[in-house]
């Protein structure tokens, strides 16, 4: 039986799938971002993209979003959140960090 891994190893190098680099992005949203469904909206949006991580409220009134995935997926998710929650976001501070693969899915943290 030809498994997926044996199939890929049997292909010439030019035909083998190239690994997609995974990035980590941390965003801190400020404005009226708590009590408006921000975390649930972010989680629902994340389900449409190839990202893992979490979203949570911070004690200072901001919302923290940490995610890992391919750069294009991260950028599209950030854009989708900005589009959907634009009336509530005053500022976003974003940091790109090395991915460490700690997440298996995307979740709301409490």
Q: Which residues are catalytic?
A: 39, 57
Task: Report phi then psi at 17, rounded to 5.
Answer: -65, 140
> Tokens at residue 37, please?
């469904």
Residue 59 in 3-state DSSP?
Answer: coil
Do 95 and 89 contact (CB within 8 A), yes or no?
Answer: no
How far, in Å, CA of 61 to CA of 84, rounded? 19
């Amino acid at each position: 039986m030809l498994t997926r891994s044996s199939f890929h190893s049997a292909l010439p190098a030019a035909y083998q799938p190239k690994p997609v680099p995974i990035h980590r992005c941390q965003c801190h949203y400020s404005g009226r971002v708590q009590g408006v469904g921000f975390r649930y909206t972010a989680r629902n949006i994340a389900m449409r993209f190839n990202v893992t991580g979490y979203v949570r409220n911070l004690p200072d009134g901001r919302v923290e979003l940490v995610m890992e995935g391919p750069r294009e997926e991260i950028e599209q998710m950030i854009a989708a959140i900005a589009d959907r929650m634009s009336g509530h976001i005053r500022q976003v501070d974003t940091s790109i960090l090395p991915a460490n693969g700690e997440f298996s899915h995307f979740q709301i943290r409490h």
